[in-house]
Chain A
Amino acid sequence: MKLTLKIWRQKAPNAKGRFETYQVEANPHMSFLEMLDVLNEELIAKKEEPVVFEHDCREGICGTCSMVINGEPHGPMAGTTTCQLHMRHFRDGETIVIEPFRASAFPVMKDLAVDRSSMDRIIQAGGYISVNTGAAQDANAIPVDKDTAAHSFDAAACIGCGACIAACPNASAMLFVSAKVAHLALLPQGKVEAKRRAQAMVKQMDLEGFGMCSNITACEAECPKGISVENIARLNREYLSSALGSETVA
Chain B
Amino acid sequence: MSLDSKTPSGPLAEKWTRYRGTMNLVAPNNKRRIDIIVVGSGLAGASAAATLGELGYNVKCFTFHDSPRRAHSIAAQGGINAAKNYANDGDSVYRLFYDTIKGGDYRSRESNVYRLAEVSRNIIDQAVAQGVPFARDYGGLLDNRSFGGVQVSRTFYARGQTGQQLLLGAYQALSRQIALGTVEMYNRHEMLDLVLVDGKARGIVARNLVTGKLERFAAHCVVLGTGGYGNVFYLSTNAMMCNVTAAWRAVRRGAYMANPCFTQIHPTCIPQSGEYQSKLTLMSESLRNDGRVWVPKNPEDAKAIREGRKTGNDIPEEERDYFLERRYPAFGNLVPRDVASRAAKIACDEGLGVAPTGLAVFMDFSAAIERYGKSKANAMGLHNPGAEKIRELGEAVVSEKYGNLFEMYEKITGENPYKLPMKIYPAVHYTMGGLWVDYNLETNIPGLFAIGECNFSDHGANRLGASALMQGLADGYFVLPYTIGQFLSNEIRTPKFSPDAKEFVDTANETRQRLEGLMNVKGSQSVESFHRRLGKIMWEYCGMARNAEGLEKARKMIRELRDEFYKDVFIPGSLEEYNPELEKAHRVADFLELGELMIIDALNRNESCGGHFREEYQTEEGEALRNDEEYTYVAAWEYKGWAEEPALHKEELAFENVELKTRSYK
Contacts and interface: CB of A to CB of B under 8 A. Distances in A.
A128 B164 contact: no
Interface in A27-68: 27, 29-31, 33-34, 37-38, 41, 43-45, 47-50, 52, 54-64
Taking residues whose C-beta sits less than 8 angstroms from the other chain, chain B's interface range is 35 or more
A146 B138 contact: yes
Given A64-B70, A113-B578, A136 B572 contact: no
A227 to B, nearest CB: 13
A139 B70 contact: no
Contact of A143 (B72, B139, B581): B139
B514 to A, nearest CB: 21
Interface string A63-81: 1100000000000010110
Contacts of A60: 408, 411
Contacts of B412: 31, 84, 86
A156 interface: yes
21 contacts: A27-B276, A31-B412, A34-B276, A41-B526, A47-B572, A49-B572, A57-B72, A57-B239, A63-B69, A80-B411, A88-B414, A123-B172, A124-B175, A127-B175, A133-B54, A140-B142, A143-B141, A146-B140, A150-B133, A187-B133, A189-B130
A27 B178 CA distance: 45
A189 B171 contact: no
Interface in B61-87: 65-72, 74-75, 84, 86
A104 B137 CA distance: 44
A63 B122 contact: no
Contact of B51 (A62, A120, A133, A139): A133
B169 to A, nearest CB: 9
5 residue pairs, one from A and one from B, having the closest CB atoms: A143-B140, A128-B172, A136-B129, A136-B125, A153-B133
A80 B477 CA distance: 33
B129 A137 contact: yes
Interface in A114-132: 115-117, 119-120, 123-132
B131 A86 contact: no
Nearest to B522: A47
A107 B14 CA distance: 54
Contacts of B281: 58-59
Given A37-B276, A132-B54, A133-B478, A123 B171 contact: yes
A216 interface: no
Nearest to A191: B131
A132 B177 CA distance: 10
B136 interface: yes
Interface of A: 12, 27, 29-31, 33-34, 37-38, 41, 43-45, 47-50, 52, 54-64, 77, 79-80, 84, 86, 88, 109-110, 113, 115-117, 119-120, 123-140, 143-146, 149-150, 152-153, 156-157, 159-160, 183-184, 187, 189-190
A44 B570 contact: yes
A111 to B, nearest CB: 9
B526 A44 contact: yes
Contacts of B127: 139
Contacts of B187: 117, 120
A44 B581 CA distance: 10
Nearest to A153: B133
A44 B572 contact: yes
A112 B163 CA distance: 28
B165 interface: yes
Interface in B446-504: 477-478, 481
Contacts of A84: 408, 411-412
B69 A138 contact: no
A129 B170 CA distance: 11
Nearest to B163: A61
Contacts of B161: 61, 157
Contacts of A145: 136, 140
B172 to A, nearest CB: 4
B274 A30 contact: yes
A125 B175 CA distance: 8
Contacts of B416: none
A203 B548 CA distance: 63
Given A129-B130, A139-B84, A61 B74 contact: yes
Nearest to B411: A84
Interface in B122-171: 122, 124-131, 133-142, 158-159, 161, 163-165, 168, 171
B90 interface: no
Question: Which of A124, A145, A159 is packed against the most chain B CB atoms within 10 Å?
Answer: A124
Nearest to A113: B578
B57 to A, nearest CB: 13
Contact of B159 (A43, A49, A153, A184): A153
B172 A127 contact: yes
B22 interface: no
Given A41-B526, A129-B131, A133-B477, A139 B240 contact: no
A125 B176 CA distance: 8
B175 A146 contact: no
B411 A129 contact: no
Contacts of B138: 146
Contact of A134 (B67, B122, B128): B122
Given A38-B276, A61-B161, A143-B140, 19 more contacts: A30-B274, A44-B572, A56-B70, A56-B72, A57-B75, A60-B408, A86-B414, A129-B172, A131-B173, A133-B54, A136-B122, A136-B125, A143-B136, A144-B140, A146-B140, A152-B133, A156-B165, A160-B67, A189-B129
A23 B168 CA distance: 40
Contacts of B173: 128, 131, 133
Query: Which of B131, B161, B165 is packed against the most chain A CB atoms within 10 Å?
Result: B131
Contacts of B125: 136-139
A159 B50 contact: no
Contacts of B179: 124-126
Contacts of B478: 133-134
Contacts of A150: 133
Nearest to A79: B407
Nearest to B132: A156
A50 B274 contact: no
B2 interface: no
B273 interface: yes
A120 B175 contact: yes
Nearest to B70: A62
B239 A56 contact: yes
A32 to B, nearest CB: 11
A62 B71 CA distance: 7
- Of the listed residues A48, A63, A145, the one surrounded by the most CB atoms of chain B closer than 10 A to its CB is A63
A69 to B, nearest CB: 15
Nearest to B176: A128
A167 to B, nearest CB: 19
A134 B476 CA distance: 12
B580 interface: yes
A183 B133 contact: yes
A139 B175 contact: no
B278 A124 contact: no
A115 B66 contact: yes
Given A37-B278, A124-B175, A149 B133 contact: yes
B382 interface: no
B528 interface: yes
A120 B175 CA distance: 8
B276 A58 contact: no
A189 B131 contact: yes
Nearest to A122: B175
A189 B128 contact: yes
Contacts of A52: 578, 580
Most buried by B among A58, A139, A140, A146: A139
A139 B126 CA distance: 8
Interface in B275-311: 276-279, 281-282
